Amino acid sequence: MSSRIIELLVSSFGEILIQGLKVTIPLTVISFVIAMLIALIVAIVQVANIKILKQIARFYVWIIRGTPLLVQLFIVFFGLPSLGIVIDAFPSAIIVFSINTGAYASETIRAAIEAVPKGQFEAGYCVGMNYFQIMYRIILPQAMRTAFPPLSNSLIGLVKDTSLAASITVVDMFLVAQRIAAQTYETFVLYMEVAVIYLLFCTVLTKIQSILEKKMRLV
């Protein structure tokens, strides 16, 4: 490896990493928090078995899981302006990532809720709780322990999926790497470098996931 390549990697590493901390991580965190709220609502609606709301929830999950994430990004950012709805790149990315991750996560949470023995509901009703009290105090705490590992994997997957935001002009660390590569023509080493930074982010999250899982098992 030539000294020019080493110098390029050293100089670009900080620029790419800083953009990851300023854009990629906030985009991931904000989208994931909103996605969890969507997922929880959709999962509870399905478990509650309110016919009309359940059908709407199932339709939402069907549409989002059946269409590519990249296409969803293009519909919101490039398609909606033709209808007079213009949304900036970063909010567009948050909207799409939240809705997309929420659809997948809702199925995880729904399955975790349904895995809790039905006798737990009956016990809650016997002591005078209503449906929402039972769900909040008894069912969800148990269900979230089951759902935690797959939801953590969804978060790690979302970190990597945010690279698609570069396609709608969000200046994340992948777009920064693309711009540097376009200027220097060193595409291989720069894309390898950004891949390593994504790997670092995901490794940290994996370690945190492992620690939290151990603590949850001890509770």
User: CA end-to-end span of the chain, whole Å?
Assistant: 51
Q: Please return the burial class of 217, using the count of CB atoms within 10 Å of its CB with bins 0-12, 13-18 and 19+.
A: exposed
CATH of 3-218, one of 2.40.50.140, 1.10.3720.10, 2.40.160.60, 2.30.29.30: 1.10.3720.10
Cα distance between residue 158 and residue 102, in whole Å:
11
Q: What is the mean pLDDT of the chain?
A: 91
Domain ranges of the chain: 3-218
Q: For 25-34, 107-116, 127-136, 180-189, which range has the lowest pLDDT when averaged over its residues?
A: 127-136
| pTM: predicted TM-score of the whole model, two decimal places | 0.92
Residue 4 pLDDT greater than 70, yes or no:
yes
Residue 121: name the closest of 28, 215, 44, 12 by CA: 44
Q: For 9-23, 69-83, 88-102, which range has the lowest pLDDT when averaged over its residues?
A: 9-23
Q: For 105-109, 142-146, 172-176, 205-209, which range has the lowest pLDDT when averaged over its residues?
A: 142-146
- The answer to whether 111 and 42 have CB atoms below 8 angstroms apart is no
CB under 8 A, 24+ apart: contacts of 196-201: 197/13, 197/16, 197/17, 197/20, 197/173, 198/159, 198/160, 198/163, 198/173, 201/20, 201/24, 201/25, 201/159
Residue 177 pLDDT greater than 90, yes or no:
yes
Query: How much is the pLDDT for 218?
Result: 65
Taking residues 154-164, report their average pLDDT.
95
Query: How much is the pLDDT for 215?
Result: 81
Residue 68 pLDDT greater than 80, yes or no:
yes
Share of the chain above pLDDT 70, in %: 99
- The answer to whether 160 and 25 have CB atoms below 8 angstroms apart is no
